[in-house]
Amino acid sequence: MTGVIVIKVGGSLIDESNDLLECLKDIVLKKDLNVVIVPGGGVFADQVRRYASNISDDASHLMAILAMDQYGIYLGDIGGIRLIDHFEDLGRSNNISILLLSQIMRAHDPLPHTWDVTSDTIAAWVAKELGAKFLKLTDVDGVFHDGNLLLVVSARKLRELELSCTDRALPDFLIKHGMDCTVLNGRYPERILDAIEERAFKGTLIKGVDKELEACFQ
């Protein structure tokens, strides 16, 4: 398998990140994968949110992306994983890297500059640009509704839910580009390989296009 896999590592996993990164490196080595980690903003972006009311949306957006870079530098240092800041720097296979996005997004950023767009949608945009499979790792098992874990949910249904572990812009982005997103609990990294190899896994598959699934909710 030589296709690129984009894995968004949420800031909520910072305390578990060392074990998570070791597991990812092991999976890449054994399965000859090409994994690109997109870091969340986490505690670094929280500081931007704290002062966002004092600055413009454009400045907040740029600072939040720089916060993602900070988390990425942290992950790269503790995990011994190389940092890249251009798509052209990606390896072809048996490779894992952490993508720092500030330079890329300053050169070309098609996304709205609002807090509806966070690292989730930015990571989805990276996956679209690379034609990659997209996984989102967070600190919960997936998307819940009425206390139940949804194993599969359409992006349109996700948009209707009041509570979700994704940002508000992600469902529309998935629908627009006909993409899927797999949500997994990064505290259980053994689930990642199951999802990559399309075996049964505990998590949520968000479907950007699924007519049969859409009909179930009508």
pLDDT in tens, 135-152: 999 999 999 998 999 999
Residue 40 is predicted with a pLDDT of 97
Whether 207 shows a pLDDT value over 80: the answer reads yes
Rounded to 5 degrees, what are φ and ψ at 55? -130, 170
User: Is the per-residue pLDDT at 214 higher than 90?
Assistant: no
3-33 confidence digits (pLDDT tens): 899 999 999 999 999 999 999 999 999 999 9
**Contact status, residue 7 vs residue 39, Cβ threshold 8 Å:** no
Q: Give residue 24's domain range.
A: 4-216
pLDDT at residue 215, rounded to an integer: 47
* Those residues with Cβ within 8 angstroms of residue 8's Cβ, 6 or more apart along the chain or in another chain: 37, 38, 39, 40, 119, 120, 123, 134, 135, 136, 137
Across the range 175-182, mean pLDDT stands at 97
Return d(Cα 125, Cα 154) in angstroms, integer.
18
- pLDDT band with cut points at 50, 70 and 90 for residue 58: very high
Positive or negative torsion for Cα 38, 113, 174, 177 = negative
Of 86-90, 99-103, 178-182, least confident by mean pLDDT is 86-90
Q: What is the CATH number of the domain that holds 161?
A: 3.40.1160.10
Question: Following DSSP, what letter does each residue of 42-85 receive, concatenated?
Answer: HHHHHHHHHHGGGS-HHHHHHHHHHHHHHHHHHHHHHHT-EEE-
The predicted model scores a pTM of 0.92
Helix, strand or coil for residue 189?
A: coil
CB 179 within 8 A of CB 206: no
Least-confidence region, from 106-110, 171-175, 212-216: 212-216
- Of the pLDDT bands very low, low, confident and very high (cuts 50, 70, 90), residue 163 is low
Tens of pLDDT, residues 77-93: 999 999 999 999 988 77
- Of the pLDDT bands very low, low, confident and very high (cuts 50, 70, 90), residue 167 is very high
Share of the chain above pLDDT 70, in %: 94
Of 29 and 210, the structure prediction assigns the larger pLDDT to 29
Q: How many domains does one find in the chain?
A: 1
What is the arithmetic mean of pLDDT over 186-192? 93
pLDDT for position 218: 45
